[in-house]
Amino acid sequence: MTAATVTCAAACALLVLAEWRGVHRLRVAAKLAASAAFVVAGIQAAPLGTSWFARCMLAGLALGALGDAALLGGSWRSFKAGLFAFLLGHVAYLAGIAQLEHPARWLFDAGLISALPIGVGLGVLGALWPRLGPLRLAVTAYMAVITVMVVAAIGVARAGALPAPQRYWLAWGAVLFFLSDLAVARDRFLWRGFANKLWGLPAYYAAQLLIAWSLTSSSCRADDAGPCCGRGPACEPPPSWPSCGDP
C-alpha cells in the first residue's frame, strides 16, 4: 500500500504541474497513473471477497478512476460521462457504508455536524443553478448523493462503526472528496483557472487514498471474527439494503 500511495502522490504532483504548464500528454499519463494507484492501494488494503464493505468501497474507487479517465476528454459529453461514473461511485460508497451502519442512523449519529455539508451543498447548488441548464437534474442528484455520503461517513466515525483510525480516514476522505468537487464545480460553471486545480486535485487524490486506507480494517486474520472480517455482522448485507457483489 505504501508504494501505491507514494505513486499516487507523485503522479498527482506531476498532474498539477502538467495543468500549470499545459502539457497535455503529461496530464493524461499523470492522471491515469494517480487514479490507478489509489485503486491498487484499495485492493492491497482489502483484497476482493474480504467483506461486503470492502467490495462496495473498491467498486467506488474503480468507478472514480473511470470518471477520471472520462474527464480527460474535456468536452461536455465527457463531463457528463464522468459525472455519471462518480455518481455511481458515490452510490457504491453509500452501499459500503450501509454495511457498517443502517442508513436510518446516519443523520442521527452525525449530529449537528451534518448541518455543515448540507448547508454548503444547498448553497453551492443555489449558486450554480442559473448556470446549469440541462445539467440541473444530474448535478442536483450528484450533490444530494455526495452530501449524504459525507453525512454517512461522519455518522459512522462518530458511532465507532469502524475501528480507529480507519473511521477517521473514511470521514476525512468523504469531506475532502466533497471539497474537491467544489473546485470542479467552480472550474466548470463559475470561474476557470489553475487555482481550482492547485487545491482541488490534491484534495481529490488525498480523499481517494484515505478511503482506500480505511479498508485496512476489512482484511484480517483467518481466526478474527470481528467487524468487517467476513463473518462479523457489519460484513453481512442487511436484508433491506442492496449488496455490491455475489456472496
| Helices 76-98 + 136-159 axis angle, to 10 | 30
Report domain extents, the chain.
2-235
pLDDT at residue 192 greater than cutoff 50: yes
Amino acid at 86: F
pLDDT at residue number 242? 47
- Reported as a single tens digit per residue, the pLDDT across 91-125 is 999 999 999 999 999 999 999 999 999 999 999 99
| 211 in Cβ contact with 171 (< 8 Å) | no
- Whole-number Cα distances in Å, 7 to 13, 32, 38, 61: 10, 11, 9, 16
Name the amino acid, one letter, at 133: G
Q: What distance in Å separates the CA atoms of residue 56 and residue 218, rounded to the nearest whole number? A: 12
In this prediction, residue 230 carries a pLDDT of 36
Averaged pLDDT, 181-199 = 93
Q: Residue 39 is placed in which grid cell?
A: 485503486
Q: What is the pLDDT of residue 156?
A: 96
What pLDDT shows up at residue 48?
58
- Decide if pLDDT at 247 tops 70: no
* 160 pLDDT tier (thresholds 50, 70, 90): very high
What local confidence, expressed as pLDDT, does residue 225 receive?
39
> What's the confidence (pLDDT) of residue 46?
84
For residues 183 and 187, what is the distance between their CA atoms, to the nearest angstrom?
6
How much is the average pLDDT of 12-39?
97
Can you tell me the mean pLDDT for 144-148? 97
Asked if 93 and 146 touch (Cβ cutoff 8 Å), the reply is no
Q: Per-residue pLDDT tens for 69-98? A: 999 987 888 989 999 999 999 999 999 999
Measure the CA–CA gap between 150 and 97, rounded to whole angstroms.
11
Render pLDDT for 58-70 as a digit per residue (tens, 0 to 9): 999 999 999 999 9
Chain mean pLDDT for the chain: 88
